[in-house]
Amino acid sequence: MSEGLQKPQYLIEARNLVRMFGARRERVTAVDGVSFGIREGEVVCLVGESGCGKTTTGKMIAGLLKPTAGQVLYTEKPVWTPRGDRGEDFKKFRLGVQIIHQDPYASLNPSHTIYQILSAPLLHHKFAANTREALDRVIELLTTVGLSPVEDFLYKYPHQLSGGQRQRVSVARALTVNPRFIVADEAVSMVDVSIRVGLLNMMADLKRELGVTYLFITHDLAVAKFFAWEGRIAVMYVGSIVEFASTPQLINDPLHPYSKALLAAVPEADPELTRSKQRVELRSQDIPSLLALPSGCRFHPRCPYFEPGLCDVERPELLPVGNNRQVACHIAAREAGAVS
Amino acid sequence: MENKVADASKSKVPLTVEDLWVEYKIERGVVKAVRGVSFELARGESLALIGESGCGKTTLGVALIRLLVKAARIPKGEITYWRGNQGVDVLSLKEKELRRFRWRECAMVFQSALNAFNPVLRIWDQILDTSKAHGGMPRAQVRERAMQLLEYVQLDPKRVIDAYPHELSGGMRQRVLLAMSLLLDPQVLILDEPTTALDILTQRTIIDLLRRLKEEIGFAMLFISHDLATAAELADRVATMYAGSIVELGPVADIFYRPAHPYTLGLIRAVPTVTGEFEKLISIPGAPPDLVDPPPGCKFHPRCPYATERCLTEEPKLEVHYGETHSVACFNVRRVQEDTHDLQERYERYMGGKTL
């Protein structure tokens, strides 16, 4: 990994991110040593089950949560000072990285019109000199996110819009400050099936037309596959990334036993396909509590590959196994011939 | 109706619904949440009711056990529960009989397993309450039955029965709910979004459990879901609901591989599968209609690429299309089906697999 000296290699990079919550005996480590880099124009999906730390990771990437340890780098510059204060380019980072939240019913101010919601950041950050310019820009943004005719939406309140339309407003709001990077946290999960594809296609268009880079967080593997087919998927389990690979590789040839179990378990919207799937039998159904984490590999109590004396003792690192993919599993890495 | 009675007793249909309408009164007017729904539920079958939020699927489920909120009204329709070949008119049941009907004959598992329990009562107390409320058995017998059922849903009965709801994970709570619904041996089980809030691996255990329940206990199962994948997994038959009506009803393979309603086809084209190659998806334009003031004619016409003049004024009825089992409410079935040739191969593969 020594190429890319002239050009910033990563637009955004997570280095050994750790985030703890609570204090003393109740202290839990929600994210425990997550590292990855995302190149400009790339789409990376973070998938995992609830409580795996994917949202916490997303919030740290967007600067909404300060890491307990580790560093976020934006255009190769650290976001936090060694003392944990905001770095000098914090404002630039904040404008450059925007987040779209899951719940479009909670993330828009109910007492503001769509125009107010969208013009506030434009005026505040001087992307528009006056209200006239702001209005022009708002109209442009609403068109970009497919809310037309624009007049139907400008002076409406969020409650007058459907979930899908609200989520489009959330995207438009993220775009007000011309971000280079968008963290989309379960951005389509609360939207009905018939609306979802339109929303995903619109977000994919932004990537092509405006060059937006995405960290797309979802629990839905089908959505991850569709949105990040040309990108990569990182699978998280109990606070860390267990596998990271290009989307087609991960979907069709997963290496980590947890990824395998997920893909084997996920129901498919096709009776033939879903009823003929080979299942992966787990040794236990219980997801470990963050207050009592298993020793060694966190997946070992459930893992079908479990090797006593290895997996329950030594925690596997996320290691490259060739083909531009990484896996954190002693057995999978051994089989793939990893160099440790 | 005469021959229906005969049919019902012969084919062991425990539940029939005939032209059911449900309305809610709200400030703006009247929401027609369920509009003229008819179907039969046979013993041993699972029928999936799929549709998006606001299509009336939960209202329909709740109406079947008469648990509608006060603002709701059933202006028209019939729900008949068959005890052997004696039909019970569910809509005219009095409170006391209703209690016997609910849970002992027709149980419902609600959407949110997290909120379905009383947080300050142990599981055992809730089970006992359920049994008492619906005229159950002696205490010792309830306990024994409860332990059996908890074991049946793959829980450790000793650990679970004296636990408080918060001590159990979402998947465990969902399994306790299932066990509770089986307590009084119902003939009909209604499941509202049984796997929606669960993680993939937990979802899998619930799906496998439901399949086993269906095969081993053989009651009639109606499950309500917005998720096509759950329907593809569990359903024998699928009903697609749009704007309060069933617009298509048929065997699972027909619905997924030979859809005849533009909305069903739209849903199928909008949902990606996980495994396999990339597929282009097509979104359905527009949004579901306002049920206070729905469009005239076919309720789907403003979003439908196949709509013709006729669809703007006349609402199509659910009519038999293929054989006797597949019905659809659309004037343009032929044109819709011309666009489903690519799915035909999968239909044959599925049917081939079935006969082997």
Measured CA to CA in angstroms, residue A128 lies from A92, A136, A173, A209, A296 at distances of 17, 9, 14, 21, 54
Contacts of B267 in chain A (CB under 8 A): 193-194
Round to whole Å and give the CA distance between A158 and A149: 16
SS3 B161: helix
Instruction: Report, as an integer, the average pLDDT of A29-39.
Output: 95
Q: How far is CA B69 from the centre of its chain?
A: 19
Size of interface A-B (CB pairs under 8 A): 134
Q: Taking all residues of chain B, what is their mean pLDDT, rounded to a whole number? A: 89
Contact A229 B278 (CB under 8 A): yes
Question: Which residue in A162, A192, A269 is closest to B229 by CB distance?
Answer: A269
Instruction: Report, as an integer, the average pLDDT of A109-122.
Output: 95
pLDDT at B78: 96
Q: What is residue B288's DSSP assignment?
A: P
Strand-strand pairing, B106-109 and B86-89: unpaired
Question: Which residue in A192, A275, A285 is closest to B205 by CB distance?
Answer: A285
pLDDT at B10: 42
Question: Angle of helix A193-210 relative to helix B262-270, nearest 10 degrees?
Answer: 50
Instruction: Report, as an integer, the average pLDDT of A224-244.
Output: 96
Contacts of B355 in chain A (CB under 8 A): none
Question: Which residue in B199, B204, B275 is closest to A273 by CB distance?
Answer: B275
Instruction: Report, as an integer, the average pLDDT of B121-143.
Output: 89
Residue of B nearest to A280 (CA): B201
Q: What is the pLDDT of residues A5-26, one digit of tens each?
A: 555 589 999 999 999 998 888 8
> Is pLDDT of B1 > 70?
no
Confidence of residue B9 (pLDDT cuts 50, 70, 90): very low
Contact B287 A282 (CB under 8 A): no
Confidence of residue B11 (pLDDT cuts 50, 70, 90): very low
Question: Which residue in A201, A261, A274 is closest to B229 by CB distance?
Answer: A274
Contact B271 A193 (CB under 8 A): yes
Q: Mutating which of A102, A186, A197 best tests the B interface, going by the most B Cβ atoms within 10 A?
A: A197
> Is pLDDT of A228 > 90?
yes
Q: Which residues are within 8 A (CB) of B290 and not within 5 positions of it... i.e. 6 or more apart? A: none
* Percentage of chain B modeled with pLDDT above 70: 95
State the amino acid at position A22 in one-letter form. Answer: G
How many degrees, rounded to 5, is the angle at CA A17 between CA A35 and CA A104?
Answer: 95
Q: What is the pLDDT of residues B57-105, one digit of tens each?
A: 999 999 999 999 999 999 999 999 998 888 999 999 999 899 889 988 9
CA-wise closest residue to B60 among A96, B47, A295, A252: B47
Contact A197 B282 (CB under 8 A): yes
Question: Which residue in B52, B201, B228 is closest to A262 by CB distance?
Answer: B201
- Report cis status (omega within 30 of 0) of the bond before B302: no
Round to whole Å and give the CA distance between B53 and A29: 36
Contacts of B200 in chain A (CB under 8 A): 49, 219, 221, 262, 265-266
Q: Which residues are within 8 A (CB) of B23 and not within 5 positions of it... i.e. 6 or more apart? A: B30, B31, B32, B33, B72, B73, B74, B75
CB A144, CB A206: distance < 8 Å: yes
Contacts of A301 in chain B (CB under 8 A): none
- The minimum CA-CA distance between B89 and chain A, rounded to whole Å, is 35
Measured CA to CA in angstroms, residue B35 lies from A208, B246, B352 at distances of 44, 9, 37
Contact A267 B232 (CB under 8 A): yes
Tally of CA atoms within 13 A in the half-sphere of A271 that contains its CB: 26
Q: What is the pLDDT of residues B225-236, one digit of tens each?
A: 999 999 999 999
Contact A269 B271 (CB under 8 A): yes
Contacts of B283 in chain A (CB under 8 A): 194-198, 201
pLDDT at B85: 81
pLDDT at A291: 85
Q: What is the pLDDT of residues B178-203, one digit of tens each?
A: 899 888 888 999 999 888 878 888 88
- The minimum CA-CA distance between B292 and chain A, rounded to whole Å, is 15
pLDDT at B41: 94
- The minimum CA-CA distance between A265 and chain B, rounded to whole Å, is 6
pLDDT at B113: 64
Residue of B nearest to A52 (CA): B199
Buried b (16+ CB within 10 A) or exposed e, A251-260: beebbbbbbb
SS3 A324: coil
Question: Which residue in A164, A194, A265 is closest to B270 by CB distance?
Answer: A194
> Is pLDDT of B334 > 60?
yes
Question: Which residue in A201, A262, A277 is closest to B200 by CB distance?
Answer: A262
Contact B233 A196 (CB under 8 A): no
Q: Mutating which of B156, B228, B247, B275 best tests the A interface, going by the most A Cβ atoms within 10 A?
A: B275
Q: What is the pLDDT of residues A160-169, one digit of tens each?
A: 988 889 999 9
User: How many other C-beta atoms can be found within 10 angstroms of the C-beta atom of residue B249?
Assistant: 27
Round to whole Å and give the CA distance between B329 and B299: 11
Q: What is residue B299's DSSP assignment?
A: T
Round to whole Å and give the CA distance between B173 and B3: 43
Distance in angstroms between the alpha carbons of the first and the last residue of chain B = 39
pLDDT at A25: 81
Round to whole Å and give the CA distance between B209 and A96: 47
pLDDT at B7: 45
pLDDT at A288: 84
Question: Which residue in B169, B266, B275 is closest to A194 by CB distance?
Answer: B266
Instruction: Report, as an integer, the average pLDDT of A71-96.
Output: 92
Round to whole Å and give the CA distance between B348 and B341: 12
Stated pTM of the model? 0.89
Query: Taking the CA atoms of chain A, what radius of gyration do you get in angstroms?
Result: 21
